[in-house]
Structure 1
Amino acid sequence: MTVVREASGICTVIVTVDAPAETISEMEFHARDGLVRFKEYKGFVSGALHKSTDGKRLIQYLQWETEADHLACMNDPRWDDRPSTRRFMEHVESGGAQTDVRVYEVVSSSKGRE
């Protein structure tokens, strides 16, 4: 379960994908596949995928035990063998989609009423 709180020691990774609505569905397929595959990797804590209501942006929120765990997953050469990865990268390399991957620390959080 995704828990967001300061000083948790958890590595937070946020991936943003911007693309035309007709491209986002393919990008979404790859991101969904990733959420399933990440469970196979050491240090994966949780993840969630969000799509904007205009269908032109994906936000993937990931939590890893350490940044090293995240990087080990991302650098695994097995990703290159996945058809969804190849298609995802084709969109990025052709300029059909823009991505941003950053590591964050939680500096503040709030919880609603129970």
Structure 2
Amino acid sequence: MTTTAHIDTTRPVATLINVFTVSPDRQTELVDLLAQATEETMKHQPGFICANFHASLDGERVINYAQWESEEHYRAMLTNPEARVHMDKAATIASDVQPRLFRVASSHRG
């Protein structure tokens, strides 16, 4: 199993893209919390493949690009009380949280 993001239209993974809107003065706090949550909890959940956090240059967004082996694995994580604690705390830092599951429809390389 790979531990880094591998984007491939033939690979049946559940891709989570979660966009957080945050005050610029709290962007680093949110990234740190998400990284800690991943190290302590998320990466130990069945089906977890990887998580990547992107901080916008204007300081107003944090994007979590994560991969799970299946939608079922992702949904099971959502019911884990330990994972919920981290997600609830992130929601107190961000003013808006928009998680969505995706499938890779097209991938291009240079």
Q: TM-score range by the shorter chain?
A: 0.7 to 0.9
Structure 2: gaps of 5 or more residues: none
Which residue in the other structure is 2:106 paired with?
Answer: 108
The whole-number CA distance in structure 2 between the counterparts of 1:33 and 1:11 is: 22
State the 4+ residue runs in structure 1 displaced beyond 3 angstroms: 84-87
Q: Which has the larger radius of gyration?
A: 1
3-state SS, counterpart of residue 12 of structure 2 = coil
The whole-number CA distance in structure 2 between the counterparts of 1:101 and 1:63 is: 13
The whole-number CA distance in structure 2 between the counterparts of 1:13 and 1:29 is: 19
Match among 20, 33, 36 for residue 33 of structure 1: 36
TM-score of the superposed pair, with normalisation by structure 1: 0.82
Deviation at 1:21, TM superposition (A): 0.5
TM-score of the superposed pair, with normalisation by structure 2: 0.85
Report the aligned-residue RMSD.
1.7
Superposed, 1:78-89 pairs within 5 Å as 78-80=82-84, 82=85, 85-89=87-91
Which residue in the other structure is 2:92 paired with?
Answer: 90
Summarize the Cα distance change of 1:85–1:100 in structure 2 as closer, same or farther, 3 Å threshold: closer
The whole-number CA distance in structure 1 between the counterparts of 2:47 and 2:38 is: 13
Deviation at 1:16, TM superposition (A): 0.5
Which residue in the other structure is 1:99 paired with?
Answer: 97
Superposed, 1:5-84 pairs within 5 Å as 5-36=8-39, 37-80=41-84, 82=85
Answer whether contact 1:26 1:88 (CA < 8 A) is retained: no
Structure 1: gaps of 5 or more residues: none
Report sequence identity in percent: 23
